[in-house]
Amino acid sequence: MSDLPRKAVTRTAKLAALPLGFAGRATWGLGKRIVGESAELVGRELQQRTADQLFKVLGELKGGAMKFGQALSVFESALPEEVAGPYRAALTKLQEAAPPMPTRTVHAVLEERLGKDWQELFLEFEEKPSAAASIGQVHHGVWHDGREVAVKVQYPGAGEALLSDLNQLSRFARLLGPLIPGMDIKPLIAELKDRVSEELDYGLEAQAQEAHAEEFTDDPDVVVPGVVHQCEQVLVTEWMDGIPLSEIIADGTPEQRDRAGQLLARFLFSGPARTGLLHADPHPGNFRLLPGGPAGDDDWRLGVLDFGTVDRLPGGLPTVIGDSLRMTLDGDAEAVYELLRAEGFVKDSIELDPSAVLDYLVPIIEPARVDEFTFTRGWMRSQAARVADPRSPAHQLGKQLNLPPAYLLIHRVTLSTIGVLCQLGATVRMRDELEEWLPGFVLEDVVDVEEESAAEA
């Protein structure tokens, strides 16, 4: 029934061939250099072939392989430019599309889940998918009441494929590590595995999406499509047009880039405060730029899709994030160190120099130090290089810090969002968003003093 390679041996063979392919191409490259080819030319050709094979396999397999590829895609900004170039096009393909499943498979799922007369629920249903992702694909249609809808259909065997792929990928995580300098691939794969059951549950996804749709109804900046119908393996939501963020990254105007970046930062920090949920899949394929904001068609709003992965934060983002960020900006090394130790970022078994910890953190929070900050690939690369270089103090200190489990997903989402901002090259008033939405970033007593002063005046 499914076109996913479901047999474990088939999928394992395809994934296992990746490291062998990497080794083979390295040998091929060495041979070409021996016979006099330019090292630079050989290096570029080697990178291109590696990118082509890696992302072709990940895209074809869908499942966990493609989910992993999409998670990597937002970090290409961290790659050195001579390496990033060949990878960028291949990575972008994973953000918007994957090979679709056959029409007969789609029909079989819809008949099983919606009933034999499923077609009567639609005035129109487009057989060709408008998007295909890691565990399902989306079809455009018109619901029986006349609403344009997006029909997400889950691939049969998606759960088996997800776990099989991620288990296999974890076995050669070390070989994949050089793709993103300074990033430990194994915890990323482990975290993706932990989220498999939620990702497959369209009921949970519908609840998360509806919570956002209700909260952001009539919002001037953010649009979330409402849920129309949900059942196992099928999710029908309101259709949303707009320009995919991947197109803005490739060809957007400076105004579009800055607006998209500002709204992306706003959604990242306001979402948990307003809904108690953190959208945890911030790759460009899940966002659209929509014309027709409060100022007219020349204004833009951010459309948000795919709520299959969320972090549940009933109290919003943890106050310790805002507290530690504010203390770091104030240069209070001792206070930052004690807070990080109390929260488990520094284990009781080790002692670190508070000043060294502050020096490690300050460059990372540079976007919050100024009124507005321009995110660039160059800045992202400098941060990655600083942490990845084994000779640097930042690398040695970073290895001694700990990331408590409660912060794993928040950390990945924040890094991913910053990666997208760097792909956009957006100039963002990040501090405005932090002051508005991040608990602990602005002390209440400071605010009270300002309010009292204003009242007295």
Instruction: Respond yes or no: is residue 298 known to be catalytic.
Output: no
Distance separating alpha carbons of residues 155 and 282, to the nearest angstrom: 22
CA distances from 343 to 101, 319, 334, 336, 407 (A): 46, 11, 14, 11, 10
pLDDT score for 178: 52
Distance separating alpha carbons of residues 152 and 254, to the nearest angstrom: 33
Give the tens place of pLDDT for each residue, 300-338.
Answer: 999 999 999 899 999 999 999 999 999 999 999 999 999
Residue in 165, 258, 281, 306 annotated catalytic: 281
Distance of CA 279 to the CA centre of its chain: 9
pLDDT at 456 over 60: no
Give the tens place of pLDDT for each residue, 226-271.
Answer: 999 999 999 999 999 999 998 999 899 999 999 999 999 999 999 9
pLDDT at 386 over 80: yes
Higher pLDDT, 152 or 61: 152
pLDDT score for 43: 40
Q: Residue 122 — pLDDT band, cuts 50, 70, 90?
A: very high
pLDDT score for 328: 95
**Tokens 């059942």 label which residue?**
231
Q: Are 222 and 267 in contact (CB under 8 A)?
A: yes
Dihedral pair phi/psi, residue 119, rounded to 5°? -65, -25
pLDDT score for 96: 47
Higher pLDDT, 42 or 259: 259
CB atoms within 10 A of CB 356: 16
- Top CATH class, 103-158+197-238: alpha beta
Q: Residue 193 — pLDDT band, cuts 50, 70, 90?
A: confident
pLDDT score for 65: 53
Higher pLDDT, 15 or 172: 172
Greatest mean pLDDT among 44-53, 224-233, 407-416 lies in: 224-233
pLDDT score for 24: 40
pTM: 0.78
pLDDT at 414 over 70: yes
pLDDT at 344 over 60: yes
pLDDT score for 416: 87
Q: Are 334 and 354 in contact (CB under 8 A)?
A: yes
Residue intervals in the chain for CATH 3.30.200: 103-158+197-238
Q: Residue 2 — pLDDT band, cuts 50, 70, 90?
A: very low
Least confident span in 135-139, 313-317, 355-359, 423-427: 135-139
Query: Stretch 330-347: mean pLDDT, rounded?
Result: 95
Share of the chain above pLDDT 90, in %: 49
pLDDT at 145 over 70: yes
Higher pLDDT, 16 or 237: 237
pLDDT score for 50: 53
Dihedral pair phi/psi, residue 440, rounded to 5°? 90, -15
